[in-house]
Structure 1
Amino acid sequence: MNDILSNNSQDLNDFLSEYMNKWKIPGMAVGIIKDDEIIYCNGLGLRDVNKNLNVTKDTLFAIGSASKSFTSLSIGILVDEGKLDLDTPIKKYMPSFEMQNKYAEEHLTLRDMLCHRSGLPRHDILWYTNPSLSRKELVDKIKYLEFSKDFRETWQYNNLMYATAGYLVELVTGMTWEEFVKLRILEPLGMNSTNFSVEALKEYSDYSKPYAQKGEEINQIDFRKLDSVAPAGSMNSSLTDMLKWLSLHLNKGKVNGKQIISERTISELHSPQLPCELIPLKFDELQFSSYALGWFVEAYRGRKHVNHGGNIDGFCSYTSFLPDENIGVVILTNLNNPVCAMPIAYHIYDKLLGYDHSDFCEKLEDEAAKMMKAMEAATKPTINSKKDNSTPSHSLEEYTGIYENPAYGSLQIEVKDNSLKLIYNNIDYTLNHKCYDIFTMTIMEYYLVDVTFNYDSTGNIKSVSIPFEETVKEILFIKCK
């Protein structure tokens, strides 16, 4: 192997600085483990642009969906103890659990949940804009959600299944998921700064602010509270702590001579379960992509590569390792870009493996730029009909009222400043008229969707339909007052 740090870390520092400038990343922390030794550990850039505060190896970042691997490890520990089984229907442990698809309800296992093959699509709006839901309330709403695929038909990434797995940990142990992870994983590893909420993050003296790019500008944005869906993506951690987490996996479940999860079970967590394609990228370096249990597994240049990214408002993380080569990389950033960390890991692996002329970074940068432009374009209205901008068929006051859906809760329509406003989970959305009883609004910053009002045989508005989950029928909210 070539050692990219054979003389000093300056070459890597120069690459990372250039990369940060190109991708407009305010701050970053990068660490590398090779043969059980930390060979690089550094913070670069700023954790707070306004106050000019530097990133350190101890700066806390939100790690987003990389939290899922902590949930799968928790399940694995309980499997070792005989308290759970990966292939037993979860109805055995949670008799009250219900789904719309009754066959799936009776047969769904933890393996199905942890490898995303339940048949249920994301339904992310359910939790994304409603931080006040309890975990139990969130799980109870699953019974109202429409499936987009048959049970075990295909891979569909699903945060709700991980929230349910975390709730199951609570039912089996009597501890919340947070308490269990802290006691059984964080404390044995000495991950003393890692926590589970925005509130806990802000109590720490060294934490990063979240940033997002819009056009050419980078702006600070709000933190996203994820308490109800925490087992899917709420954790905050530092480079120092995440290198300890990475070492646990490279050492097959052992820390300080103690096996906190059996080698057999952690191997199962790292083993492919079904093919998947999170990001539709086709490169010669990647031979296949699959999902294991809380981890993606691919063949990178013929080598097994276990990894998971984490993307939540203002942050992008990447935890990755080549188990057979005993190399791993952790990358934490404070930019809201879903693929900005991934190319760094591939660059580091190429250098360590002796591939000096890889253009993988440039190819992935091009694809990421296309993705970001497509997301921005989604907010721009398109003219689909000659009827666009026709007069609404009802007065604005007739659209107002409270509308309810058993899963998605209630929303309110009101008139303000001579236009319609939709209020959902304490967020105000402006409704722009498109044609007749159809309006548009932008959700989750990027997505422009149609809001369609429906009326009964007497012409009175009775409901509103919104495509909060694009893979199923529009979500129907019934007017109740």
Structure 2
Amino acid sequence: MNNTISNNLEGLNDLLYEQMKEWKIPGMAVGIIKNGEIIYSGELGVRDVNQNLKVTKDSLFAIGSSSKAFTSLSIGILVDEGKLDLDTPIKKYMPNFKMHNKYAEEHLTLRDMLCHRSGLPRHDLLWYNNFSLSRKELVDRIKYLEFSKDFRETWQYNNLMYATAGYSIELVTGMTWEEFVKAKILEPLGMSSTNFSVDVSKKSADYSEPYAEKGEEIQQINFRKMDSIGPAGSINSNLSDMLKWLSLHLNKGNVNGKQIISEKTISELHSPQIPCELFPLKLDELQFSSYGLGWFIESYRGRKHVNHGGNIDGFCSYTSFLPDENIGIVILTNLNNPACAMPIAYYIYDKLLGYDYTAFNKKLKNEAEKIFKAMEADNKSTRNSKEENLTPSHSLEEYTGIYENPGYGSVKIEIKDNSLKLTHSNIEYTLTHKCYDVFTMTMMKYYLITLTFNYDSNGNIKSVSIPFEQTVKDILFIKQ
């Protein structure tokens, strides 16, 4: 740990350990830059609970959606080189690109994609845990996905649009997104340990295992491979490298005297493009929230705050800076909790800026508890809304088979242990009968959804409707 800690950071270690204890974070790496100097580098807790291996500044963590800023910076570099334009329809660079909404297809630009205003909802279950899709195949499936809003109507976070933006880099340069980021960003910055796949991280001598809270305990879970959706969130890095990344942004694109992206373009990445609200939580300290290009832009206590979190199975990261104060923070954790890193950054900023302690954790946890209680009530309502006809309309064998959707691929339904099991993207779900040909299943540990089997005029099961994306009508899978 860096022992050169400025006076206004006195007691920071104790504060961070308190935060780790409250959130049950096994391990965390925290770095702070002020006026171009690393004023704090904290290596806290363990990267491997079973082996009691300590976190170091070189321990690799998944940074999840904090990867998006690497994609937007890559696009920005190509804008400076005249190879891409933020406001030219993407069809110029990707002539075969198609969408369900034809107007959006013809007018969608890189700016639309990078600030999440395409009109397309997340549709994350198309790619989540799907190891077989190439990036091209992933982009090709977008044409089958229904829109939930009009084009440019509102902000809707969308990983598929970032995968598409990353794929455009390959089409105009001949380099994959990974190759471009490595050549144009990682190597100039000296980010030699940063990689794009958990398979690479696991070959390292110093990487963190992923953890999640299950009941009252913290348990190790499986890594999540994200290769196909890479430009949206596949990067793994460590504190040493991420502080170099943070310095690039605080220095307005300058690395060791070399401008790898123009000040004008990087300023645009850091500028509000569309109003947004990531969390339902209202904090008095936040005056507004917007999205730029690969970054959230807020007003925190009247100061411009540029930031982005990253959350993927077993990890939560946060990259953040106050450009006018020339202060930045990197937080890497190995806990599967999307809310744990952000309040820690707020605590640090308050300490640096001289504000009194604010109970951010309590506010976040109270809001999260309301959300989970509402979800539990919805789930209970779904389970209990129909009590009659508790026997399925068909035999279990009649529901089994392979069902196909051109966007979401296939689902397999089979009988195991006297109950129906549905497998999609290598994830198995248990189906619980509700009534008639209606069943329920639990996704992502919290979401209870209702799926309906449909039959033809002869009474034969012909399809199943599944609300994999709940902002549009159910996804229809046809029995093969």
Instruction: Give the TM-score taking structure 1 as reference length.
Output: 0.96
| Number of matched pairs | 477
Distance 2:178 2:162 in 1: 13
Distance 1:445 1:133 in 2: 25
Does 2:441 correspond to 1:445?
no
Give the SS at the match of 2:478: strand
- Alpha-carbon contact 2:65-2:310 (below 8 Å) kept: yes
Relative to 1, partners in 2 of residues 1:82 and 1:62: Cα closer, same or farther, differing over 3 Å? same
Deviation at 1:375, TM superposition (A): 6.0
Q: Which amino acid aligns with 1:281?
A: L
Distance 1:166 1:277 in 2: 25
Q: Which amino acid aligns with 1:124?
A: D
- Alpha-carbon contact 2:60-2:207 (below 8 Å) kept: yes
- Alpha-carbon contact 1:89-1:110 (below 8 Å) kept: yes
Deviation at 1:444, TM superposition (A): 2.3
Does 2:305 correspond to 1:300?
no
Q: Which amino acid aligns with 1:336?
A: N
Question: Residues 407-426 of structure 1: matches in 2 within 5 Å?
Answer: 407-426=407-426
**1:41 is matched with which residue?**
41
Q: Which amino acid aligns with 2:119?
A: G
Q: Which amino acid aligns with 1:349?
A: Y
Deviation at 1:376, TM superposition (A): 7.0
Give the SS at the match of 1:128: coil
Q: Which moved more, 1:323-332 or 1:382-391?
A: 382-391
- Alpha-carbon contact 2:248-2:255 (below 8 Å) kept: yes
Distance 1:134 1:383 in 2: 38
**1:142 is matched with which residue?**
142
**2:246 is matched with which residue?**
246
- Alpha-carbon contact 2:252-2:266 (below 8 Å) kept: yes
**2:395 is matched with which residue?**
395
Give the SS at the match of 2:321: strand
Relative to 1, partners in 2 of residues 1:82 and 1:460: Cα closer, same or farther, differing over 3 Å? same
Does 2:154 correspond to 1:154?
yes
Does 2:61 correspond to 1:67?
no
Question: Residues 72-471 of structure 1: matches in 2 within 5 Å?
Answer: 72-371=72-371, 382-387=382-387, 390-471=390-471
Distance 1:358 1:197 in 2: 37
Relative to 1, partners in 2 of residues 1:39 and 1:51: Cα closer, same or farther, differing over 3 Å? same
Deviation at 1:399, TM superposition (A): 0.8
Relative to 1, partners in 2 of residues 1:385 and 1:368: Cα closer, same or farther, differing over 3 Å? closer
Q: Which amino acid aligns with 1:254?
A: N
- Alpha-carbon contact 1:346-1:361 (below 8 Å) kept: no
- Alpha-carbon contact 2:317-2:333 (below 8 Å) kept: yes
- Alpha-carbon contact 1:378-1:447 (below 8 Å) kept: no
Q: CA RMSD of the aligned region, Å?
A: 1.6
Q: Which moved more, 1:278-287 or 1:153-162?
A: 278-287
Distance 1:235 1:144 in 2: 28
Q: Which amino acid aligns with 2:410?
A: S
Relative to 1, partners in 2 of residues 1:207 and 1:365: Cα closer, same or farther, differing over 3 Å? same
- Alpha-carbon contact 1:60-1:201 (below 8 Å) kept: yes
Deviation at 1:168, TM superposition (A): 0.4
Distance 1:387 1:375 in 2: 20
- Alpha-carbon contact 1:347-1:361 (below 8 Å) kept: no
Distance 2:453 2:89 in 1: 40
Distance 2:154 2:404 in 1: 31
Distance 2:245 2:389 in 1: 55
Residues 125-173 of structure 1: CA deviation (Å, up to 9, x unaligned): 0000212210000000000000000000000000000000000000010
Relative to 1, partners in 2 of residues 1:332 and 1:348: Cα closer, same or farther, differing over 3 Å? same
Relative to 1, partners in 2 of residues 1:97 and 1:70: Cα closer, same or farther, differing over 3 Å? same
Residues 394-435 of structure 1: CA deviation (Å, up to 9, x unaligned): 111111111110001111111222211112223322111111
**1:32 is matched with which residue?**
32
- Alpha-carbon contact 1:121-1:157 (below 8 Å) kept: yes
Distance 2:193 2:442 in 1: 36
Q: Which moved more, 1:429-438 or 1:143-152?
A: 429-438
Deviation at 1:215, TM superposition (A): 1.7
- Alpha-carbon contact 1:389-1:433 (below 8 Å) kept: no
Deviation at 1:377, TM superposition (A): 7.0
- Alpha-carbon contact 1:270-1:295 (below 8 Å) kept: yes
- Alpha-carbon contact 1:379-1:442 (below 8 Å) kept: no
Distance 1:378 1:208 in 2: 36
Instruction: Report % sequence identity.
Output: 80
- Alpha-carbon contact 2:128-2:425 (below 8 Å) kept: no
Distance 1:269 1:379 in 2: 40
Q: Which amino acid aligns with 2:331?
A: I
Q: Which amino acid aligns with 1:25?
A: I
Relative to 1, partners in 2 of residues 1:381 and 1:29: Cα closer, same or farther, differing over 3 Å? farther
Residues 41-100 of structure 1: CA deviation (Å, up to 9, x unaligned): 011001000000000111100000000000000000000000000000000000000001
Deviation at 1:9, TM superposition (A): 5.8
Deviation at 1:382, TM superposition (A): 4.4
Distance 1:100 1:258 in 2: 43
Distance 1:144 1:193 in 2: 38
Q: Which amino acid aligns with 1:27?
A: G
Deviation at 1:116, TM superposition (A): 0.2
Q: Which moved more, 1:421-430 or 1:144-153?
A: 421-430
Deviation at 1:373, TM superposition (A): 5.8
Deviation at 1:285, TM superposition (A): 0.5
Distance 1:374 1:35 in 2: 44
Deviation at 1:369, TM superposition (A): 4.4
Give the SS at the match of 2:267: helix
